[in-house]
């Protein structure tokens, strides 16, 4: 037992360092992943604009773990100047979803085709402290930067062209309040 005593101090330091490293890695990975997505998109000049990716295959990596049965549209947003207005048509007879993620990859809003009563989903995403003057549904992002993801299920290949055309009508842009009615 006496021979083990000199190793106790270094063992405690090593265990503490391992725990600290583990915690740092766990908290930094989401930021690193989202940072890479933001950097790719900002380089392409597509912030606050919907990007409609190609159908997922073995080479498609814009989305983590993509499904070849889904069509994806993504909007990387920056709310530092204005809230974001998202509009996305909701297809009939197939799964559709809109999810919004903070800059640490936390999903803070999601809606699917069964929850949207109209043919189009509209949403205003605001930064903390922002509020758009509109009656449209609004959510507050926990971060100024983030991304919105639209997914459309292709359950019938004969409907691919129509679903693709509908998906490409999805938009995101800085919110512009409508002009007051002349009066």
What letter does residue 62 receive in the DSSP assignment?
S
How much is the pLDDT for 24? 62
Length of the chain: 183
Q: What is the CATH number of the domain that holds 88?
A: 2.60.40.1610
Residue 33 lies in a domain: no
Q: Is residue 180 part of a domain?
A: no
Q: How many domains does the chain have?
A: 1
Q: Record the tokens describing residue 30, joined without a space.
A: 């989401």
| pLDDT score at 34 | 59
Note whether residue 100 is domain-resident.
yes
CB-based contact 172:148 (threshold 8 Å): yes
Q: How far, CA to CA in Å, does 51 sit from each of 62, 100, 136, 170? A: 10, 15, 23, 9
Whole-number pLDDT of residue 178 = 73
- Would 75 be classed as within a structural domain? yes
**pLDDT of 38 strictly over 70:** no
Answer whether 136's CB lies under 8 Å from 123's CB: yes
Q: 42 with 76: CB under 8 angstroms? A: yes
Q: Is residue 26 part of a domain?
A: no
Residue 120 domain boundaries: 50-174
Better pLDDT: 130 or 56: 130
Q: Quick check: is 67 in a domain?
A: yes
In a domain, residue 2? The reply is no
- The answer to whether 75 and 51 are in contact (CB under 8 A) is yes
Token pair, residue 71, equals 């069509």
Of residues 155 and 30, more confidently modeled: 155
The pTM (predicted TM-score) of the whole model is 0.76
Q: How far apart are CA 6 and CA 8, in angstroms?
A: 6
d(CA 84, CA 71): 22
Bridge-based pairing of strands 138-140 and 96-102 is unpaired
Residue 150 lies in a domain: yes
SS3 181: coil
Q: How confident is the model at residue 160 (pLDDT cuts 50, 70, 90)?
A: very high
Q: Average the pLDDT over 128-153 and give the result.
A: 94
């Amino acid at each position: 037992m006496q021979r083990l005593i000199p190793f106790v101090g270094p063992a405690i330091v090593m265990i503490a360092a391992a725990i600290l490293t583990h915690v740092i890695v766990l908290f930094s990975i989401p930021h690193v992943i989202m940072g890479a997505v933001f950097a790719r998109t900002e380089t392409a000049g597509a912030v606050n604009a919907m990007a409609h990716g190609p159908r997922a295959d073995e080479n498609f990596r814009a989305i983590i773990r993509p499904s070849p049965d889904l069509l994806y549209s993504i909007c990387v947003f920056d709310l530092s100047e204005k809230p974001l207005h998202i509009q996305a048509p909701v297809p009939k007879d197939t799964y559709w979803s809109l999810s919004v993620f903070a800059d640490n990859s936390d999903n803070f809003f999601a809606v699917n085709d069964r929850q949207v009563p109209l043919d189009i989903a509209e949403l205003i995403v605001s930064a903390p402290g922002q509020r758009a003057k509109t009656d449209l549904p609004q959510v507050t992002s926990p971060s100024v930067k983030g991304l919105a993801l639209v997914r459309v299920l292709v359950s019938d290949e004969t409907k691919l062209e129509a679903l693709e055309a509908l998906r490409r009508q999805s938009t995101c842009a800085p919110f512009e309040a409508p002009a007051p009615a002349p009066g």
